[in-house]
């Protein structure tokens, strides 16, 4: 008979549980692409394979694809690395132990190439293999979504090419279909593009990049979600949300 409570705080709680479930919100992870390259440098140097970051893009992709198809861990248990590299490896280890039940996407800031995405996929796979071996159990949930964040004007202009290159790699295409229901997420950055080229140019480059990314995913039969890194201020892409949505390229809002 207490309608005030039932229609008020109780109704709010029911709505929250219906919307978010009982697991609260998933956290995204985010790290800069150069930190992943430094980590792979440490690994390839330790294994006497050379210096990863000095290789050209094709050699990087050959190495990453070969290791992704393999069944053994890449990172030796005995490896000693600098503190900043250890931080990256430890983050992947924790992500493997928590899995996609608790974590959402792994966002790569300053992404500029297909190898930036495959590097994260490899470090993620390696950590999951290690966690399964050390903990003696399967990792919870699936692998995290790996989301490239294109920020500078140069990277925005090449975003479509990078996605096409990624999806043309058999391992990656199959991985997206099998583990992410044929769904690729791509993030576009407003603050760095604005600082790089000014707001007007950045807006136009963002527009063209989205068109190209959507076309690339359509060409390979992959669904795409565009994640807009819009902040509060105009310098970070802020402003009225409904105008921002209305101004998106046709076919990019699904």
Positions annotated as catalytic residues are 195
Buried b (16+ CB within 10 A) or exposed e, 219-230: ebebebebbbbb
Distance CA 58, CA 66 (A): 12
**How far is CA 135 from each of CA 82, 139, 215, rounded to the nearest angstrom?**
25, 9, 42
Distance CA 152, CA 162 (A): 14
CB of 163 closer than 8 Å to CB of 217: yes
Distance CA 121, CA 108 (A): 11
Strand, coil or helix: what is 183? strand
Q: What is the DSSP string of 62-105?
A: HHHHHHHH-SS-SS-TT----HHHHHHHHHHHHHHHHGGGTEEE
């Amino acid at each position: 008979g207490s309608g005030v409570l039932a229609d008020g705080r109780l109704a709010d709680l029911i709505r929250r549980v219906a919307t978010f479930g009982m697991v609260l919100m998933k956290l995204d992870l985010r790290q800069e692409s150069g930190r992943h390259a430094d980590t792979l440098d440490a690994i390839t140097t330790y294994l006497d394979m050379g210096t990863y970051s000095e290789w050209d893009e094709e050699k990087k992709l050959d190495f990453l694809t070969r290791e992704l198809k393999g069944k053994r861990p890449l990172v030796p248990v005995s490896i000693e690395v600098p503190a900043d590299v250890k931080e990256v490896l430890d983050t992947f280890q924790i992500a493997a132990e928590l899995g996609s039940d608790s974590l959402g996407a792994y966002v790569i800031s300053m992404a500029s190439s297909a190898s930036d995405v495959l590097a994260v996929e490899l470090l993620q796979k390696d950590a999951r293999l290690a966690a399964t071996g050390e903990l003696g159990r399967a990792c919870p949930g699936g692998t995290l979504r790996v989301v490239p964040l294109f920020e500078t004007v140069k990277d925005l202009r090449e975003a479509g090419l990078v996605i096409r290159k990624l999806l043309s790699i058999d391992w990656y295409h199959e991985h997206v279909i099998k583990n992410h229901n044929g769904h690729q997420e791509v993030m576009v950055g407003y603050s760095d593009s604005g600082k790089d080229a000014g707001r007007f140019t950045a807006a136009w480059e963002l527009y063209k990049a989205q068109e190209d990314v959507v076309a690339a995913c359509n060409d390979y039969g992959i669904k795409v979600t565009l994640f807009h890194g819009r902040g509060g201020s105009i310098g970070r892409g802020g402003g009225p949300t409904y105008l921002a949505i209305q101004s998106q390229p046709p076919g990019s809002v699904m």
